Amino acid sequence: MTETAANVPVAGVAMTAIGVAVIRARESRREDRLYDDPFAKNFVEAARAGFDAERWARLETLADQFYEGRTLGVRLVDDRFREAIDHGCRQIVLLGAGLDTRAFRMDLPRDIRIFEIDLPELFAFKEPVLARAGADPTCHRRVIAQDLREDWGKTLVNNGFRPDQPTCWVDEGSLGYLPLEENRRVVLTLTELSAPGSRFGVGRFAVDTTSGPYPELRRLVSGDAEPPRPAGGLGDDVAEWLEAIGWNTEFHSWNDMVAPLGRPTAPLDPGTGNIAAVRR
Ligand SMILES: C[S@@+](CC[C@H](N)C(=O)[O-])C[C@H]1O[C@@H](n2cnc3c(N)ncnc32)[C@H](O)[C@@H]1O
Protein backbone atom coordinates (compact mmCIF):
# COMPACT_ATOMS: atom_id res chain seq x y z
CA MET A 1 0.00 0.00 0.00
CA THR A 2 1.30 3.50 -0.75
CA GLU A 3 1.88 5.48 2.42
CA THR A 4 0.23 8.87 2.86
CA ALA A 5 1.86 11.94 4.36
CA ALA A 6 -0.21 12.31 7.54
CA ASN A 7 1.30 14.13 10.54
CA VAL A 8 4.90 13.86 9.34
CA PRO A 9 7.23 15.68 11.77
CA VAL A 10 9.22 17.62 9.16
CA ALA A 11 11.05 19.74 11.79
CA GLY A 12 11.63 19.67 15.53
CA VAL A 13 13.30 16.91 17.53
CA ALA A 14 10.68 14.33 16.54
CA MET A 15 12.08 14.62 13.00
CA THR A 16 15.37 13.09 14.14
CA ALA A 17 13.55 9.77 14.61
CA ILE A 18 12.93 9.67 10.85
CA GLY A 19 16.67 9.88 10.21
CA VAL A 20 17.21 6.82 12.41
CA ALA A 21 14.41 4.98 10.56
CA VAL A 22 16.22 5.75 7.29
CA ILE A 23 19.32 4.10 8.78
CA ARG A 24 17.39 1.03 10.01
CA ALA A 25 15.65 0.64 6.64
CA ARG A 26 19.02 0.73 4.89
CA GLU A 27 20.52 -1.83 7.28
CA SER A 28 17.50 -4.12 6.90
CA ARG A 29 18.02 -4.27 3.11
CA ARG A 30 21.56 -5.67 3.50
CA GLU A 31 22.27 -9.34 3.18
CA ASP A 32 24.75 -9.12 6.04
CA ARG A 33 22.34 -7.09 8.19
CA LEU A 34 22.93 -6.75 11.90
CA TYR A 35 19.14 -6.73 12.57
CA ASP A 36 15.94 -6.68 10.59
CA ASP A 37 13.41 -3.90 11.10
CA PRO A 38 10.60 -4.64 8.65
CA PHE A 39 8.65 -1.48 9.54
CA ALA A 40 11.47 1.02 9.02
CA LYS A 41 10.69 1.20 5.30
CA ASN A 42 7.02 2.00 6.05
CA PHE A 43 8.07 4.96 8.20
CA VAL A 44 10.52 6.15 5.56
CA GLU A 45 7.99 5.94 2.75
CA ALA A 46 5.34 7.75 4.81
CA ALA A 47 7.78 10.43 5.94
CA ARG A 48 9.23 11.10 2.52
CA ALA A 49 5.77 11.96 1.22
CA GLY A 50 5.57 14.83 3.75
CA PHE A 51 8.98 16.41 3.10
CA ASP A 52 9.97 18.80 0.35
CA ALA A 53 12.73 17.42 -1.87
CA GLU A 54 15.46 19.73 -0.57
CA ARG A 55 14.93 18.91 3.12
CA TRP A 56 14.56 15.19 2.37
CA ALA A 57 17.90 15.23 0.52
CA ARG A 58 19.53 16.90 3.52
CA LEU A 59 18.03 14.33 5.88
CA GLU A 60 19.32 11.48 3.71
CA THR A 61 22.79 13.02 3.59
CA LEU A 62 22.85 13.17 7.38
CA ALA A 63 21.59 9.59 7.62
CA ASP A 64 24.51 8.56 5.37
CA GLN A 65 26.98 10.40 7.59
CA PHE A 66 25.65 8.83 10.79
CA TYR A 67 24.93 5.40 9.28
CA GLU A 68 27.98 3.40 10.26
CA GLY A 69 27.98 4.28 13.95
CA ARG A 70 24.26 4.46 14.43
CA THR A 71 23.45 1.11 12.88
CA LEU A 72 26.05 -0.63 15.06
CA GLY A 73 24.48 1.19 18.01
CA VAL A 74 21.02 -0.21 17.20
CA ARG A 75 22.41 -3.73 17.23
CA LEU A 76 24.24 -3.13 20.52
CA VAL A 77 20.97 -1.99 22.12
CA ASP A 78 19.20 -5.08 20.74
CA ASP A 79 21.85 -7.19 22.48
CA ARG A 80 21.52 -5.15 25.68
CA PHE A 81 17.76 -5.71 25.62
CA ARG A 82 18.17 -9.46 25.51
CA GLU A 83 20.84 -9.40 28.19
CA ALA A 84 18.60 -7.34 30.50
CA ILE A 85 15.73 -9.77 29.95
CA ASP A 86 18.06 -12.69 30.71
CA HIS A 87 18.97 -10.91 33.95
CA GLY A 88 15.34 -10.66 35.04
CA CYS A 89 14.13 -7.30 33.68
CA ARG A 90 10.59 -7.85 32.43
CA GLN A 91 9.90 -4.10 32.01
CA ILE A 92 11.60 -1.96 29.41
CA VAL A 93 11.20 1.80 29.09
CA LEU A 94 12.35 3.57 25.94
CA LEU A 95 13.09 7.24 26.61
CA GLY A 96 12.50 9.10 23.36
CA ALA A 97 11.42 5.87 21.64
CA GLY A 98 11.08 7.49 18.22
CA LEU A 99 10.20 5.01 15.49
CA ASP A 100 11.63 2.07 17.43
CA THR A 101 9.87 -1.24 16.69
CA ARG A 102 11.56 -3.64 19.11
CA ALA A 103 8.16 -4.49 20.60
CA PHE A 104 7.24 -5.85 17.15
CA ARG A 105 10.44 -7.14 15.60
CA MET A 106 12.40 -8.89 18.35
CA ASP A 107 9.97 -11.71 19.03
CA LEU A 108 9.90 -10.76 22.71
CA PRO A 109 7.77 -12.93 25.00
CA ARG A 110 4.24 -11.83 25.93
CA ASP A 111 5.10 -11.11 29.55
CA ILE A 112 7.65 -8.44 28.63
CA ARG A 113 6.20 -4.95 29.06
CA ILE A 114 7.59 -2.19 26.87
CA PHE A 115 6.75 1.45 27.56
CA GLU A 116 7.58 3.87 24.78
CA ILE A 117 7.89 7.53 25.81
CA ASP A 118 8.10 10.25 23.19
CA LEU A 119 6.43 13.50 22.16
CA PRO A 120 2.76 13.47 21.10
CA GLU A 121 3.67 14.63 17.56
CA LEU A 122 5.92 11.59 17.15
CA PHE A 123 3.17 9.12 18.00
CA ALA A 124 0.66 11.05 15.84
CA PHE A 125 2.85 9.97 12.93
CA LYS A 126 4.03 6.57 14.18
CA GLU A 127 0.83 4.88 15.30
CA PRO A 128 -1.13 5.27 12.04
CA VAL A 129 1.82 3.93 10.03
CA LEU A 130 2.03 0.85 12.28
CA ALA A 131 -1.74 0.38 12.07
CA ARG A 132 -1.69 0.57 8.25
CA ALA A 133 1.14 -1.99 8.20
CA GLY A 134 -0.95 -4.34 10.40
CA ALA A 135 1.86 -4.41 12.96
CA ASP A 136 1.15 -6.44 16.06
CA PRO A 137 3.50 -6.34 19.08
CA THR A 138 4.63 -9.74 20.35
CA CYS A 139 4.83 -8.37 23.90
CA HIS A 140 2.81 -5.91 25.95
CA ARG A 141 3.35 -2.37 24.56
CA ARG A 142 2.18 0.91 26.03
CA VAL A 143 2.65 4.32 24.42
CA ILE A 144 3.33 7.31 26.70
CA ALA A 145 2.90 10.42 24.57
CA GLN A 146 4.56 12.96 26.82
CA ASP A 147 7.44 15.39 26.93
CA LEU A 148 10.30 14.13 29.11
CA ARG A 149 10.40 17.61 30.68
CA GLU A 150 6.97 16.94 32.19
CA ASP A 151 5.91 14.56 34.98
CA TRP A 152 6.24 11.43 32.84
CA GLY A 153 7.06 9.23 35.85
CA LYS A 154 3.54 9.67 37.19
CA THR A 155 2.04 8.89 33.78
CA LEU A 156 4.19 5.79 33.54
CA VAL A 157 2.95 4.48 36.89
CA ASN A 158 -0.65 5.35 35.98
CA ASN A 159 -0.20 3.22 32.87
CA GLY A 160 0.80 0.05 34.67
CA PHE A 161 4.54 0.53 35.20
CA ARG A 162 5.69 -1.31 38.37
CA PRO A 163 8.48 0.52 40.29
CA ASP A 164 8.96 -2.58 42.46
CA GLN A 165 10.16 -4.64 39.48
CA PRO A 166 13.57 -4.37 37.78
CA THR A 167 13.49 -2.27 34.63
CA CYS A 168 15.73 -1.82 31.63
CA TRP A 169 15.86 1.89 30.71
CA VAL A 170 17.00 2.78 27.23
CA ASP A 171 18.18 6.17 26.05
CA GLU A 172 19.11 5.87 22.41
CA GLY A 173 19.65 9.48 21.43
CA SER A 174 16.94 11.47 23.20
CA LEU A 175 18.95 12.91 26.09
CA GLY A 176 21.23 14.62 23.59
CA TYR A 177 18.46 17.11 22.86
CA LEU A 178 17.81 18.43 26.36
CA PRO A 179 20.04 20.69 28.48
CA LEU A 180 22.09 19.00 31.20
CA GLU A 181 19.83 19.95 34.15
CA GLU A 182 16.78 18.54 32.38
CA ASN A 183 18.60 15.37 31.44
CA ARG A 184 19.67 14.91 35.03
CA ARG A 185 16.08 15.41 36.18
CA VAL A 186 15.01 12.62 33.78
CA VAL A 187 17.67 10.34 35.26
CA LEU A 188 16.71 11.24 38.84
CA THR A 189 13.10 10.31 38.02
CA LEU A 190 14.05 6.96 36.51
CA THR A 191 16.37 6.30 39.44
CA GLU A 192 13.46 6.76 41.87
CA LEU A 193 11.42 4.35 39.76
CA SER A 194 14.17 1.70 39.57
CA ALA A 195 14.03 -1.42 41.71
CA PRO A 196 17.41 -3.04 42.56
CA GLY A 197 18.80 -4.84 39.51
CA SER A 198 17.39 -2.27 37.07
CA ARG A 199 19.68 -1.38 34.18
CA PHE A 200 20.49 1.81 32.34
CA GLY A 201 23.03 2.56 29.64
CA VAL A 202 24.53 6.01 29.12
CA GLY A 203 26.49 6.80 25.99
CA ARG A 204 29.77 8.65 26.48
CA PHE A 205 30.87 10.47 23.35
CA ALA A 206 34.35 11.86 23.01
CA VAL A 207 33.29 13.74 19.87
CA ASP A 208 33.24 17.40 18.98
CA THR A 209 29.58 18.23 18.34
CA THR A 210 30.43 21.69 17.07
CA SER A 211 31.84 20.21 13.85
CA GLY A 212 31.24 17.38 11.37
CA PRO A 213 27.56 16.62 10.66
CA TYR A 214 26.29 17.93 14.03
CA PRO A 215 25.70 21.64 13.18
CA GLU A 216 23.75 20.64 10.03
CA LEU A 217 21.66 18.21 12.11
CA ARG A 218 20.76 21.03 14.49
CA ARG A 219 19.97 23.40 11.60
CA LEU A 220 17.65 20.83 10.02
CA VAL A 221 15.91 20.09 13.34
CA SER A 222 15.29 23.78 13.96
CA GLY A 223 13.81 24.27 10.49
CA ASP A 224 16.74 26.60 9.76
CA ALA A 225 15.05 29.05 12.12
CA GLU A 226 17.41 29.09 15.08
CA PRO A 227 21.18 29.28 15.38
CA PRO A 228 22.72 25.84 16.03
CA ARG A 229 22.60 24.96 19.73
CA PRO A 230 25.20 22.63 21.26
CA ALA A 231 23.86 19.24 22.32
CA GLY A 232 23.05 18.47 25.96
CA GLY A 233 24.16 15.25 27.63
CA LEU A 234 24.65 14.29 31.27
CA GLY A 235 28.02 15.91 31.92
CA ASP A 236 31.60 14.62 31.93
CA ASP A 237 31.27 13.30 35.50
CA VAL A 238 28.20 11.19 34.70
CA ALA A 239 29.70 7.89 35.94
CA GLU A 240 30.59 9.41 39.33
CA TRP A 241 27.19 11.08 39.52
CA LEU A 242 25.37 7.81 38.77
CA GLU A 243 27.42 6.04 41.45
CA ALA A 244 26.47 8.77 43.93
CA ILE A 245 22.73 8.43 43.25
CA GLY A 246 22.57 4.64 43.60
CA TRP A 247 23.98 2.89 40.54
CA ASN A 248 27.02 0.64 40.05
CA THR A 249 28.70 1.50 36.78
CA GLU A 250 31.08 -0.13 34.33
CA PHE A 251 32.51 1.50 31.22
CA HIS A 252 32.71 -0.43 27.93
CA SER A 253 34.59 1.21 25.09
CA TRP A 254 32.90 1.48 21.72
CA ASN A 255 35.83 -0.19 19.99
CA ASP A 256 35.57 -3.26 22.25
CA MET A 257 31.78 -3.46 21.93
CA VAL A 258 31.66 -3.38 18.14
CA ALA A 259 34.67 -5.66 17.49
CA PRO A 260 32.63 -8.93 17.72
CA LEU A 261 30.11 -7.61 15.17
CA GLY A 262 32.73 -7.93 12.45
CA ARG A 263 31.83 -4.80 10.53
CA PRO A 264 34.80 -2.80 9.26
CA THR A 265 34.70 0.49 11.11
CA ALA A 266 37.12 3.27 11.98
CA PRO A 267 38.24 3.05 15.63
CA LEU A 268 36.97 5.85 17.84
CA ASP A 269 38.58 7.67 20.73
CA PRO A 270 38.87 5.06 23.54
CA GLY A 271 36.88 7.42 25.77
CA THR A 272 33.79 6.84 23.62
CA GLY A 273 31.55 4.02 24.77
CA ASN A 274 28.75 3.02 27.09
CA ILE A 275 28.43 3.36 30.84
CA ALA A 276 26.47 0.29 31.89
CA ALA A 277 24.67 1.05 35.15
CA VAL A 278 22.95 -1.43 37.48
CA ARG A 279 20.75 -0.14 40.31
CA ARG A 280 21.92 -1.07 43.80
C1 LIG B 1 17.45 10.70 17.50
S2 LIG B 1 15.79 10.25 17.86
C3 LIG B 1 16.02 8.61 18.43
C4 LIG B 1 14.76 7.81 18.45
C5 LIG B 1 14.91 6.34 18.88
N6 LIG B 1 15.45 6.23 20.22
C7 LIG B 1 15.75 5.59 17.89
O8 LIG B 1 16.90 5.25 18.23
O9 LIG B 1 15.29 5.36 16.79
C10 LIG B 1 15.47 11.17 19.36
C11 LIG B 1 14.06 11.00 19.88
O12 LIG B 1 13.95 11.67 21.15
C13 LIG B 1 12.68 12.28 21.20
N14 LIG B 1 12.73 13.39 22.14
C15 LIG B 1 13.59 14.44 22.12
N16 LIG B 1 13.30 15.31 23.11
C17 LIG B 1 12.24 14.77 23.79
C18 LIG B 1 11.48 15.18 24.91
N19 LIG B 1 11.74 16.34 25.53
N20 LIG B 1 10.47 14.40 25.34
C21 LIG B 1 10.20 13.22 24.70
N22 LIG B 1 10.89 12.78 23.63
C23 LIG B 1 11.89 13.55 23.17
C24 LIG B 1 12.42 12.75 19.78
O25 LIG B 1 11.05 13.01 19.55
C26 LIG B 1 12.97 11.58 18.98
O27 LIG B 1 12.00 10.61 18.70
pTM comes to 0.95
Mention every residue, 6+ apart, whose C-beta is less than 8 A from residue 226.
Answer: none
Residue 100 Cβ < 6 Å to ligand 1? yes
When pLDDT is averaged across residues 120-141 and rounded to a whole number, the result is 97
Q: Examine the pLDDT at 154 and tell me if it is beyond 80.
A: yes
| Neighbour-count burial for 26-64, b at 16+ CB within 10 Å, e otherwise | bbbeeeeebbebebbbbbbbbbbebbeeebbebbbebbe
| Average pLDDT in the chain | 93
The type of residue at 71 is T
Between 11 and 142, where is the model more confident? 142
Ligand 1: residue whose CA is nearest its atom 2:
17
CB count in 10 Å sphere of residue 187: 24
Q: What residue segments make up the domains of the chain, in order of their start?
A: 67-279
- What's the pLDDT tens digit per position in 38-81? 999 999 999 999 999 999 999 999 999 999 999 999 999 999 99
Residue 171 Cβ < 6 Å to ligand 1? no
Phi, psi of 193 (to 5 degrees): -90, 5
- pLDDT for res 228: 52
Could you say which of 3.40.1280.10, 1.20.120.610, 3.40.50.150, 3.20.20.70 is the CATH number of the domain covering 67-279? Answer: 3.40.50.150
- pLDDT for res 61: 96
Ligand 1: residue whose CA is nearest its atom 23:
96
Residue 175 Cβ < 6 Å to ligand 1? no
pLDDT band at 264 (very low <50, low <70, confident <90, very high): confident
- What's the pLDDT tens digit per position in 180-237? 999 999 999 999 999 999 999 998 876 777 888 888 888 888 887 765 555 568 888 9
Residue 178 Cβ < 6 Å to ligand 1? yes
- pLDDT for res 221: 85
Residue 120 Cβ < 6 Å to ligand 1? no
- pLDDT for res 1: 44
Contact of 200 with 94, CB cutoff 8 Å? no
